[in-house]
Amino acid sequence: MTRLLTVENLSVALPRGADRPHAVEEVSLHLDAGEILCVVGESGSGKSITANTVMGLLPKGLPVTSGRITFEGEDLLGLSAEALRSRRGRRMAMVFQEPMTALNPLMKVGDQIAEALSVHGKGAEARARVPELLAAVNLPDPAAIARMHPFRLSGGQRQRVMIAMALALEPALLIADEPTTALDVTTQAQILRMMREIQQRRGMGVMFITHDFGVVAEIADRVAVMQRGRIVEQGTAREVLDAPQHPYTRALISAVPHGRTLDRAAARPAPVLQMKGVTKTYQRGGWFGARAVVRAVHDADFTLNKGETLGLVGESGSGKSTLARCVVRLVEPEQGEILFHGNDLRPLSRQGWLPYRKRIQMVFQDPYASLNPRRKVGDAITEGPITHGVGRDEARQRALELLRLVKLEPSAMERYPHEFSGGQRQRIGLARALAMQPELLIADEPVSALDVSVQAQVLDLLAEIRQRLGLTMLFITHDLRVAAQICDRIAVMQRGAIVELGPTAEVFGAPKHPYTRSLLDSIPGRGWTPPELAETA
């Protein structure tokens, strides 16, 4: 095999005042033709900076301080901007994370691909090549798609268009920066399969950046693990995934949700929450033209028993968040009954709801958006109880206990949210919800915005607290491995309806509905079970 890309001792400086002197430090890696190298790491580990350096796309504030990048025998760092530009697109191409923003919204897709061709002097072939390229990324009816504007395509279709554009000039090297992170699992599985297939057909070298070990297991030939700007471990996929050597890799892999189901005694049926015939529809338009009606939630009946955790899983747009928000009245459904200990909450007024606010609480998805940036953590935790008539001193006392429970320092009380990391903020959000001493906790994707090692900590904390306080929990997630780990029963939602509901082991072991089956088949790296690793210091 021919050596395509070599990076030797690459260091990129960070501007002064950053948390470390280098974004990337003494990074060495290589890529052969016909090989997929996965660069894995948590956010801020320098994996995207490495990729952007190869492409010559570093922002001005980040200078390369040392190292060599050799691509097809040429030193890329020594090339002029013009020489680099002629190689970009033609010999090496890049696919970005966010398909929603990487395409020009005002240009037809076909024209955008044609533009990529004509920039490198191959405009004449565009007519014939565009449909061919769109067909190569498995888009149905390429001629029709070429005439569409990006807003008419789904996220997965846009990412395919991006890949088609990157492949237009048959580059020898493709850099893919988290290309499937913004996509649903089933779409992700299709895109990964397609990339693998095209890469093998054309013998391309692919540098694939991801944070997800499932994706690594699915696609990688070789793996490089990055931590704080350094490569800590490099090797074949089998070696790194099944017998990791470096403590950081071992920690990361043992933090991957193992997906093994819980073995717990079934809860005695003592219904806390029952949803019956809840329907929520959204309407668009009006005045002129036809109204578009979207049924966000319908046919979603379930019962939640005391002490049990029910997982609500589904892809984006399946209505799982809307359903959860109906329970706490952030969304007002137009039909159905929401029975909490037998009392219907739906017809209650804002005032009538107040006594239930204490008993039903929620933890939100985005740790950066769910805390008021202008309010101290202590105030955020105490304001709920104070609103409900608890004395100020008692509320503060309770807040201190809760901070201890979620493993934060008491000094956190006097600090503002921006001083905390994502995982810490999520624990503050949890403390805020628990301060009300609720019976029912609704957790809306509480770990999906977190890095894998932090995710594991928060999940452990949730499990521990649920056990200790005897909480009943409605847990919303799109990640089936997480759901399997924490839920007693699982409800699978598709297009607003619950299509399958049953004990976790049953749903995962013997799925009845075809949609559940396709979801399970799409879990990245489903053929790989993270090895049991002894705790390393």
Partner 1 sequence: MGGFWRNFCRNRGAVVGLVILLLVIATAVAAPWLFPGSPWDMAGMPFAPPGEMGMWLGTDSLGRDVAAGIAHGARVSLLVGAVSTVVALVIGIGLGATAGYLGGVADDIVMRFTEFFQTIPSFVLAILLVAIFTPTIGSIVFAIAVVSWPPVARVVRAEFLSLRSREFVQASEVLGKSRLAIVFGDILPNALSPIVVLSSLMVASAILLESALSFLGLGDPNLMSWGFLIGSGRSVIRIAWWMSVFPGIAIFLTVLSLNLVGEGLSDALNPRLARNREGKA
CB nearer partner 1, residue 87 or residue 398: 398
Segment 43 to 102, residues that bind partner 1, using CB under 8 A: 59-61
Segment interacting with partner 1 (CB under 8 A) among 2-10, 24-32, 362-370, 390-398: 362-370
Is 364 among the residues that bind partner 1 (CB under 8 A)? yes
Tokens representing 290 are 């036809």
Taking CB under 8 A as the criterion, the residue among 43, 353, 418, 531 binding partner 1 is 353
d(CA 192, CA 403): 42
Q: Tokens 């929520």 sit at which residue? A: 280
* Closest separation in Å from C-beta 370 to partner 1: 4
Sequence-ordered alpha helix ranges (H) in 375-451 = 377-387, 392-405, 422-434
Tokens representing 311 are 């997982």
Taking CB under 8 A as the criterion, the residue among 362, 447, 465, 484 binding partner 1 is 362
CB nearer partner 1, residue 61 or residue 410: 61
Segment interacting with partner 1 (CB under 8 A) among 309-317, 349-357, 408-416, 467-475: 349-357
* Closest separation in Å from C-beta 49 to partner 1: 13
The site map against partner 1 for 272-311 (x = CB under 8 A) is ----------------------------------------
Taking CB under 8 A as the criterion, the residue among 384, 423, 446, 511 binding partner 1 is 384
Is 371 among the residues that bind partner 1 (CB under 8 A)? yes
* Closest separation in Å from C-beta 60 to partner 1: 7
The site map against partner 1 for 436-455 (x = CB under 8 A) is x-------------------
CB nearer partner 1, residue 201 or residue 350: 350
Nearest to 226 by CA among 463, 466, 39, 71: 39
Look at strands 309-313 and 489-494 and give their pairing.
parallel
Q: Which residues contact 447 (CB under 8 A, 6 or more apart)?
A: 426, 455, 458, 459, 477, 479, 482
C-alpha distances out from residue 521 to 387, 451, 484, 516, 527, Å: 47, 24, 14, 9, 10
Taking CB under 8 A as the criterion, the residue among 83, 124, 294, 330 binding partner 1 is 330
The site map against partner 1 for 2-21 (x = CB under 8 A) is -------------x------
Number of residues located near partner 1, criterion CB under 8 A:
34
Segment interacting with partner 1 (CB under 8 A) among 108-116, 134-142, 425-433, 498-506: 425-433
Is 316 among the residues that bind partner 1 (CB under 8 A)? no
In this structure, which amino acid lies at residue 444?
D
**Chain-centre distance for alpha carbon 241:** 20
CA angle 306, 308, 312 (to 5 degrees): 125
Taking CB under 8 A as the criterion, the residue among 334, 374, 532, 537 binding partner 1 is 374
CB nearer partner 1, residue 165 or residue 406: 406
Taking CB under 8 A as the criterion, the residue among 47, 129, 432, 481 binding partner 1 is 432
Other C-beta atoms lying within 10 Å of the C-beta of residue 152 = 12
Is 489 among the residues that bind partner 1 (CB under 8 A)? no
CB nearer partner 1, residue 210 or residue 321: 321
Sequence-ordered alpha helix ranges (H) in 235-297 = 237-242, 247-255
Is 372 among the residues that bind partner 1 (CB under 8 A)? yes
CA angle 194, 198, 203 (to 5 degrees): 150
CB nearer partner 1, residue 330 or residue 510: 330
CB nearer partner 1, residue 133 or residue 471: 471
Taking CB under 8 A as the criterion, the residue among 373, 468, 532, 534 binding partner 1 is 373
CB nearer partner 1, residue 476 or residue 523: 476
d(CA 310, CA 502): 9
Q: Which residues contact 453 (CB under 8 A, 6 or more apart)?
A: 42, 251, 252, 255
Taking CB under 8 A as the criterion, the residue among 294, 354, 469, 510 binding partner 1 is 354
DSSP string of 180-235, one letter each residue: TTTS-HHHHHHHHHHHHHHHHHHT-EEEEEES-HHHHHHH-SEEEEEETTEEEEEE
**Long-range CB contacts for residues 21-25, cutoff 8 Å, separation at least 24:** 22/65, 22/229, 23/49, 23/62, 23/229, 24/49, 24/50, 24/53, 24/229, 25/229, 25/230
Is 361 among the residues that bind partner 1 (CB under 8 A)? yes
* 3-state SS, residue 241: helix
* Closest separation in Å from C-beta 131 to partner 1: 40
* Closest separation in Å from C-beta 357 to partner 1: 3
Tokens representing 52 are 């952007």
Is 336 among the residues that bind partner 1 (CB under 8 A)? no
CB nearer partner 1, residue 262 or residue 386: 386
CB nearer partner 1, residue 157 or residue 370: 370
* Closest separation in Å from C-beta 328 to partner 1: 5
Q: 110-120 burial, b if ≥16 CB within 10 A, otherwise e?
A: bbbbbebbebb
- SS3 string of 328-359? CCCCCCCEEEEEECCEECCCCCHHHHHHHHCC
d(CA 520, CA 214): 13
* Closest separation in Å from C-beta 107 to partner 1: 26
Interface ranges with partner 1 (CB under 8 A): 15, 59-61, 325, 328-330, 350, 353-354, 357-358, 360-362, 364-366, 369-375, 383-384, 387-388, 429, 432-433, 436
